[in-house]
Amino acid sequence: MLFDGTAFAPRSSQRYIAQLDVSQANQLSLRVDGDIISCDLQYADISAPLGKLPVKFTFPNGWVFTVERTVSVNQWLASNKRSSLVDKMEANGLAWLLSALVCVGVVLSLYFYVLPWTSDKVAKAVPSHIAVSLGDKILQSLDKSWQESKLSAEKQQKIQKRVSQHLTQLEALPYPIKLEFRASDMGANAFALPGGKIILLDDMVALAEDQQQLDSIILHEIGHIYHRHMLKKLVHSSLLSVGVALLTGESSGVVDNLAGLGVFFLSNGHSREAELEADVFSKQAMLSLYGTSQPLAEMFERLQEQYNHDVPEWLSTHPDFEQRIQAVSE
């Protein structure tokens, strides 16, 4: 088979009418200007043909031959497996669809698996003093709208002392636990901050009928600290906004995210999984400390009762109460 085209001498722009003989297997022969220039097919560089552009053959000695894409040229390229990936994809809508699906799959698995996994690793690698100062910053921000606790210093110290005593009997925690007492009009609530601070609002302390009920709630918050839930959530959110910022070139999201840590912390509850993990921690700790986890179930019931009509933060961010009462009851 002969292809009619144009040839260019090495390092020259002079054009020649030429023919390329492809009839011999694995061999190219260029007939130009009364000469025949041959080479092994594997040593020739054949330009990746895009759409309808001419195909370019470059010989090892520098001769170049170009030919329009005719049906026979395409057939020869196809049978010599030199058609480009783009050509193949164009010819194969299914391949496009598959590659689009693969892209979607990659993004989804990044979001659902790689991101949580990375957040988990990063949260565990954050040095304690950084976690503590992050917690302190959040507390500073929260303190703008909260007041000092009305509980007596004696009562505060008594609770802190009892909790410290409990901690000696529990599994080691990533951070030392420090209770902080505050008053707020937001209702009975408690929070675990990155770095080991637990905030107890006066209404939560008042809601507990006895020390076991109060301890069950404190232990739930210690469960959040044990699992580093808040830190993981903040890292997760930061990684996501950093990722989005990198993808879109929009960097203000990162700054907003860091500046809004306190607000973020207040308005976002833990995930259902995180709550269940903290419940399990509290239940097991209550069983080993008091031989019963019933006070936790009682506390959940009291919270639910107290806010029967108006759904408070603690309930809305601590989902599926009925189910959780069942789960922590013996």
Helix or strand (DSSP H, E) at 90 = helix 85-91
In terms of CB distance, is 212 or 216 closer to Zn ion? Answer: 216
CA atoms 5, 11, 14, 16: torsion sign? negative
List the one residue out of 189, 249, 250 whose CA is nearest residue 221: 189
Residue closer to Zn ion (CB basis): 83 or 213: 213
Residue (87 or 221) nearer to Zn ion, CB: 221
Which of 3, 314 has the CB closer to Zn ion?
314
- Least CB distance to Zn ion at residue 153 (A): 27
Site string for Zn ion, 252-291 (x = CB under 5 A): -----------------------x--x-------------
Least Å distance, CB 132 to Zn ion, is 20
Smallest distance from Zn ion to CB 98, Å: 43
CB of 318 to Zn ion, least distance (A): 5
Contact 216, 329 (CB under 8 A): no
19-32 burial: b if 16+ Cβ within 10 Å, else e: bbebeeeeebebbb
DSSP 330: -
CA atoms within 13 A on the CB side of 277: 14
| Per rule CB under 5 A, count of chain residues that contact Zn ion | 2
For the bound state, the minimum distance from the C-beta of residue 224 to Zn ion, rounded and expressed in Å, comes to 6
For 241, left (φ over 0), alpha (ψ -120 to 50), or beta?
Answer: alpha
Smallest gap from Cβ 296 to Zn ion, in A, equals: 11
**Nearer to Zn ion among residue 64 and residue 214 (C-beta):** 214
CB closer to Zn ion, 275 vs 298:
275
- Taking CB under 5 A as the criterion, which residues in 162-181 touch Zn ion? none
Q: Are strands 15-21 and 2-8 parallel, antiparallel or unpaired?
A: antiparallel
Cα dihedral 110, 122, 235, 286 in deg (nearest 10):
110
Cβ-closest position to Zn ion: 278
Q: Point out which residues bind Zn ion (CB under 5 A).
A: 275, 278
